[in-house]
Amino acid sequence: MRSIALIAGLAMIMPALPGASAALAAPGQAKETSCDNPRSNFDSIYCERKIFMQADTDLNTAYKALRVQLKAADRTTLLQSQRAWIRQRDEKCGRSTESAIGVDLVCAKDVTIARTNWLNDRTRECRSAGCRASLLDE
């Protein structure tokens, strides 16, 4: 069985579970982790995970917004482009051995935000000057 690790920056640790930061608080203190000042590497991972999850939600929203602007053939091109991007993201931000799987959350977040910006740029082009199919396979 392989273990799963998340990497924030250069630290590789096991992922914190949602709500785990409150469980790590001193007795009688069930506070939400302050992502401005995380108390531990686990809190840092928890915060990066939250940001990544929002970035992933934003990416899906941007993808859907662009997709509805496109003709059927262009939607196919966009789907192929998105699948290629996912493979690139996984290669760049993922680590795998026989005994462990790791994800660099900072890398995944940054790459996801960049892709979301790219999708939003294409949507803006479609709305203003018309969709340019030649840009969809980047």
Domain of 123 in residue numbering reads as: 3-13+40-128
Tens of pLDDT, residue by residue, the chain (138 residues): 555 555 654 334 333 334 444 444 444 444 565 888 889 999 999 999 999 999 999 999 999 999 999 999 999 999 999 999 999 999 999 988 888 889 999 999 999 999 999 999 999 999 999 999 889 887
Q: Is 135 a member of any domain?
A: no
* Number of independent structural domains in the chain: 1
Nearest by Cα to 6 from 38, 44, 40: 44
Per the domain annotation, does 30 fall within a domain?
Answer: no
- Say how far residue 52 (Cα) sits from the centre of its chain: 4
Mapping DSSP to helix (H, G, I), strand (E, B) and coil, where does residue 45 land?
helix
Instruction: Compute the distance between CA of residue 113 and CA of residue 58 in angstroms, rounded to an integer.
Output: 8
92: amino acid identity, one letter: K
Q: What is the pTM of this model?
A: 0.75
Could you tell me if residue 47 is inside a domain? yes
pLDDT score recorded for residue 26: 45
In a domain, 65, yes or no: yes
pLDDT of residue 11: 34
Q: Is residue 34 part of a domain?
A: no
> 28 lies in a domain?
no
Whether residue 31 lies inside any domain: the answer is no
